[in-house]
Structure 1
């Protein structure tokens, strides 16, 4: 077998003429090439730890489950499109749950070092890319569009990296990170998860971080959602927070969304902290977010849905303008509200007055 250069792997006819192609990659790992009409899942199942599954441009009607450590599932850009199958799934699989790509470990062993990159996932009833029980998952250059609930979502995981993705027009959050979607429990230390340099637009909420600690939401462009960034906590211990939201561009999140079972109607919310502690919100540009809900405004500190107050959060060095009803909002009274600090922000109006 002749050696192939794996950049966007174009291999010899002898290798790719029939079925799935496989070529040598570095350190003894293999690259499995998938063409339109072939099964991505079949290639994933054939791959071993450290291998790459390279999916060439085209539309693939299937869901894909990855549980092999160190596997890279990579397309060749937005032209590699994964959409739902026309066949109804009858068992408890990624497809049956309404997801496009699932990266899943187990309760006892997280799947490590998986990468999903350079492809489009669209039209799934629940989530474009869903991950659970992972360690060091990387999702990059993925376009998650028009999925029913979340574009890209993760729970019960650590060391995640979500960079340079586009999450647009999904039913709930474009990017959603949580401790446990179905259970009430204390916040989880994500051990440095990073959500950075993503374009998030047209969703109900751009980026949601729920009941988590120790992560960064940085340098994202968040626009055209009903709400830009939500950092959510509640009465469980440890509390959500101890994380950073910085250098984001959060502008004109003025889409209108009706109330849900968990949340009031939303419109015009930039960055919202609700029921969290020790969050640093710094050096963000927050402009033109305008609405009439209790969470409308530029940077808003609001009590959680169960009445848990924000405490010991720092809002520093942000640039705010043209947000309504105010650029900065600290909703709450008493010593807990006073423990949140506002300094060095450039803004016009605040509630209560004097925060600018």
Structure 2
């Protein structure tokens, strides 16, 4: 009888991004913060405006926010500003959007520190970054802030740590088009997606508690964005537990495709390493790895590789997953001659021969027949992908600001040629051809015109120049 060849041993090269000389993440963050200029301490108490204090601040100033309720949207367009809440006798400084405001905190400055704030009842985002580098977002409590809880976009060298987020109808922590990011020790529950790394590179997601979401931790590529790849992502030492709540995302959004009961989902991302996680009680499957056919209504983009490649699965503790798999999981497992009423611990619909798994027999798997065996090593030598020195501030033109605002704000609801939460960009272009001011007027004071779309929240927190720039950019977008 012919003998089956043993699986190939796959050697894993250390990422060139993991070149830190520092020994702990804490050292990296302290160096990052120490590099900022030191300015004045400004106290903000209930009844005063945080935004007015920011308007008067200089780079390096530290705003101390005392307990109380603040009904406003805060926009930080200066570098090295700190928003630091004071928590006294269990009372937090609270930004309350009252269910009418879109965003709580928006920043475009570099070297921003946001900590110790409670943020609740916004319709769009809790904390959103637009091209700010060297950011630290830690120890915040974010509740029911609409689409995203913490959402840095187009940033580099960022630290998201010890936040609690719940009630978010897309991703609680959403890292979009960023590089060199560390997401650690956060608790995310009661959201559609707990943590999502999208179109980002060089990210570590570790020590988080993702429980009772629809899906726990996601690493995705979304086609049609300026950054075309997601790679070099480490998902390690997380507790990914009981992510079984029904999906309550807006119809048309990408996460509306996330099946309840899934611990980790990798869609089209490359060089993802999964190690040391406790993945338990997820009723559909522990880990799903798929190409872009996983999601419906994705825009076409020939520059985005749809297939996941070089996935590394090291030792993880996986218990009691797959108790109630969806029909698609059962059907795919059957094509792999896996006939089981339970869903698998690990499923890969597009197995890449350069992918590998350590100690495969520990898990119930489907679609991993082409996987090799991971050589010893794991991820221990990678402290993080944070940089030893802060990134130099980038120069942003007004045209750049329009483009960034489009991808950071508009693209979440409007795709070029498919329906998402809002109308297609092509429809908007036809309606406002050669009339950017018409778009500016509408986004400043939106009026609900169509019953088949939700009401758009006002975008008047953006300054007029940015609104004009994003309107011009939207009218010239071609893909």
Q: 1:352 Cα shift? A: 3.8
Q: 1:256 Cα shift? A: 1.1
Larger gyration radius, structure 1 or structure 2: 2
Between Structure 1 and Structure 2, which shows a larger proportion of helix residues? 2
1:38 corresponds to which residue? 48
Q: Distance in 1 between matches of 2:39 and 2:259?
A: 48
Task: Quickly say closer, same or farther: Cα 1:346–1:339, change in 2 above 3 A.
Answer: same
Contact 2:189–2:213 at 8 Å: present in 1 too?
A: yes
1:119 corresponds to which residue? 117
1:349 corresponds to which residue? 364
* Unaligned residue ranges in structure 2 (runs of 5+): 1-35, 299-304, 323-342, 374-479
Alignment of 1:1-356 (within 5 A): 29-77=39-87, 79-84=92-97, 98-104=102-108, 111-179=109-177, 190=179, 192-233=180-221, 238-257=228-247, 260-261=251-252, 262=254, 263-264=256-257, 266-291=259-284, 297-304=285-292, 305=295, 308-324=306-322, 325-332=343-350, 337-344=352-359, 347-352=362-367
Contact 1:317–1:345 at 8 Å: present in 2 too?
A: no
2:435 corresponds to which residue? none
Q: 1:121 Cα shift? A: 0.7
| Structure with the larger RCO, 1 or 2 (CA within 8 Å, 6+ apart) | 2
Q: Could you say what secondary structure the match of 1:42 adopts?
A: helix
Q: Could you say what secondary structure the match of 1:48 adopts?
A: coil
Contact 1:56–1:75 at 8 Å: present in 2 too?
A: yes
Contact 2:98–2:122 at 8 Å: present in 1 too?
A: no
Q: Could you say what secondary structure the match of 1:159 adopts?
A: strand
Contact 1:318–1:344 at 8 Å: present in 2 too?
A: no
Q: Distance in 1 between matches of 2:361 and 2:193?
A: 25
Between Structure 1 and Structure 2, which shows a larger proportion of strand residues? 1
Task: Quickly say closer, same or farther: Cα 1:346–1:134, change in 2 above 3 A.
Answer: farther
Q: 1:120 Cα shift? A: 0.5
Q: Could you say what secondary structure the match of 2:306 adopts?
A: coil
Q: 1:267 Cα shift? A: 0.3
Contact 1:320–1:345 at 8 Å: present in 2 too?
A: no
Q: Distance in 2 between matches of 1:265 and 1:277?
A: 19
Q: Could you say what secondary structure the match of 2:51 adopts?
A: helix
Give the number of equivalent residue pairs. Answer: 298
Contact 1:320–1:346 at 8 Å: present in 2 too?
A: no
Q: Could you say what secondary structure the match of 1:70 adopts?
A: coil
TM-score, reference length from structure 1: 0.78
Task: Quickly say closer, same or farther: Cα 1:329–1:145, change in 2 above 3 A.
Answer: same
CA deviations 1:263-313 (Å, max 9, x no partner) are 42520010110101111111111001013xxxxx10111122369221111
Q: 1:341 Cα shift? A: 1.1
Task: Quickly say closer, same or farther: Cα 1:256–1:347, change in 2 above 3 A.
Answer: farther
Q: Could you say what secondary structure the match of 2:117 adopts?
A: strand
Q: Could you say what secondary structure the match of 1:45 adopts?
A: helix
Root-mean-square deviation (CA, aligned residues, Å) is 2.3
Q: 1:351 Cα shift? A: 1.4
CA deviations 1:244-274 (Å, max 9, x no partner) are 1111110000001157323425200101101
Question: Which has the larger displacement, 254-263 or 55-64?
Answer: 254-263
1:183 corresponds to which residue? none
Q: Distance in 2 between matches of 1:266 and 1:321?
A: 19
Q: Could you say what secondary structure the match of 1:280 adopts?
A: strand
Q: Distance in 2 between matches of 1:155 and 1:27?
A: 24
Q: Could you say what secondary structure the match of 1:329 adopts?
A: strand
